[in-house]
Amino acid sequence: MNPRMIRLAVAVLSVTAVPAFAALAFAAPSPAMIELRRHLTDASINTLTFHNIDEMFETLPVPTAGKPTSLPKRLAPLDFTYTFEGQSVPAAQFAERTFTNALLILKDGRIVHEQYYNNTHERTRFLSMSMAKSITSNLIGMAVADGAIGSIDDPIVKYVPSLKGSGYEGVSIRNALMMRSGVDWDERYDFGKVSPMQQLHDNAIVQNRIRFTDPAAGLKRAHPPGEVFNYSTVETGVLGLVIEGAVGKPLPQYMAERWWKRAGMESDGFWLADGEPGVGRAVNGMGFNAVLRDYGRIGQMMLDGGKANGRQLLPEAWVKEATHVGTSTVPGPEGLGYQYQWWTFVGSSAYTALGLQGQHIFVDPATRTVVVKLSYFPPGEQRAEAETLAFLRAASAWTPR
């Protein structure tokens, strides 16, 4: 292990040494449950685990209220093709080719395609993975609109004083939204190998021994804030702390009151938590769960400039700023840029919430299209992600008959 990795590992391990008396306060998951949690992303079972999070983990509810907003439906056959690896592929083959659990396409607010696979259905709640980062971004925008956050140029430590003295001192909320804090963190998903991310995942999510954001206080600065893009789920966790510090209540409660209950969502959502009730926090960088159509409603709200259920829930100016398409790419899937926790399609007005192993809420204002794809990619799968991006572009250009 190189010196940088050793330093990062020490930062994580330093917060895992929970005193014996403190450990007694936690209801530790059973050995059988720990073993199951460790295999959450495995290709042999993730078609099931990705929509049964509440059977495996502690959770925090995000209840809805009232009558759901209507999503008119006029289904159409997927009678278009897309080009992938030099071949023309019928769109009807896409779901099977790319490990799909559910697929939804909306055109100008109307459902034109909705399909569930692998014993899922309209009441199934699916794991967002890192689409939760885009949800967190929206909550930051709402807190700004409420006046709870004065400006995204405010320093993070204004709202999270416990991070004074860490690499996050001197970092603005804007820096973190753009994954440019300069804080030293190595986001590697090679679970099964020793790395800071693997150890954090095991200690916080699998065993609930620590909170997911605990390592943030021990991280140091690697680059000046604002200069270098470095994708980090811990960074989004810090933004969750900013929200809670600003609004004075837990993130799931704020989300329910400020967004979910007002937006006409049809089902309760929930967050994966890193501990038992009263102890655990929402793992807001990857752990939201919702039904397919409610993910579609998130995309439709963005498409409609922040409006949902007849209400301006997110300022239109925030939506434009958060999804602004830059001219340069960042490390990640080819042809994508990054703004406020949303991935942008360089050269177009489209953008997407993107989650590990094939989760997407794709929005294209130019064609009034929203596509939600919920997947079970094998760990490390790159080909299916590239094919998905090709399909999303073609689905956007498609005019249903």
Among 207, 231, 247, where does a domain finish? 247
Whether residue 361 is predicted with pLDDT greater than 90 in this model: the reply is yes
- Cα-based distances in Å from 260 to 64, 130, 269: 5, 19, 8
Considering the domain boundaries, does residue 110 fall inside one?
Answer: yes
- Quick check: is 107 in a domain? yes
pLDDT in tens, 221-234: 999 999 999 999 99
Same domain, 239 and 268: no
Residue 256 sits in the same domain as residue 242? no
Average pLDDT over residues 346-359: 96
In three-state secondary structure terms, 352 is strand
Q: Which domain holds residue 163?
A: 1-38+149-247
Residue 135 lies in a domain: no
Flag whether pLDDT at 4 surpasses 80: no
Whether 367 has a pLDDT exceeding 70, the answer reads yes
Judgement on whether residues 338 and 234 belong to the same structural domain of the protein: no
CB atoms within 10 A of CB 293: 21
294 is a domain residue: yes
CATH number at residue 243: 1.20.58.710
335: CATH: 3.40.710.10
Query: What band does 27 get if pLDDT is binned at 50, 70 and 90?
Result: low
Q: Determine the pLDDT at residue 227.
A: 95
Quick one: 232 and 316 in the same domain? Answer: no
Percentage of the chain exceeding pLDDT 70: 92
> CA of 93: how far to CAs of 54, 82, 88, 280, in Å?
31, 10, 11, 41
Whether 258 and 175 share a structural domain: no
The token pair at 232 is 């980090």
pLDDT(299) > 70: yes
Q: Are residues 209 and 281 located together in one domain of the fold?
A: no
* pLDDT value, residue 1: 44
* The predicted structure's pLDDT at residue 192: 63
* Among 199, 229, 247, residue at a domain's last position: 247
Statement to judge: residues 328 and 261 lie in one domain: yes
Q: Are residues 192 and 210 in the same domain?
A: yes
Pairing mode of beta strands 351-355, 81-84:
unpaired
* pLDDT per position as a tens digit, 97-149: 999 999 999 999 999 999 999 999 999 999 999 999 999 999 999 999 999 99
- Give the tens place of pLDDT for each residue, 60-83: 999 999 999 999 999 999 999 999
Q: Is residue 198 part of a domain?
A: yes
What pLDDT is attached to residue 135?
98
Question: How many angstroms separate the CA atoms of 39 and 358, rounded?
Answer: 17
Q: In the prediction, which pLDDT does 280 show?
A: 96
Q: How many structural domains does the chain have? A: 2
Both 299 and 271 in one domain: the answer is yes
First to last CA, the chain: 57
Residue pair 305/234 in contact by the 8 Å Cβ criterion: no
> Are residues 315 and 335 located together in one domain of the fold?
yes
pLDDT value of position 329: 80
Q: What is the pLDDT of residue 195?
A: 83
Mean pLDDT, range 298-314, rounded to an integer: 98
Tell whether 156 and 20 lie within a shared domain. Answer: yes
Per-residue pLDDT tens over the stretch 9-26: 434 444 433 333 333 345
Instruction: Read off the pLDDT of residues 167-203 as tens digits, 9 standing for 90 and up.
Output: 999 999 999 999 999 999 988 776 567 788 889 999 9
Higher pLDDT pick, 16 / 289 = 289
Show which of 203, 231, 247 is a domain's final residue. 247
Average predicted confidence (pLDDT) for the chain: 92
Distance CA 343, CA 325 (A): 9
Asked if residue 316 is part of any domain, the answer here is yes
Q: Using a pLDDT cut of 90, give the percent of the chain over it.
A: 86
pLDDT over threshold 80, residue 251: yes
79 and 94 assigned to the same domain? yes
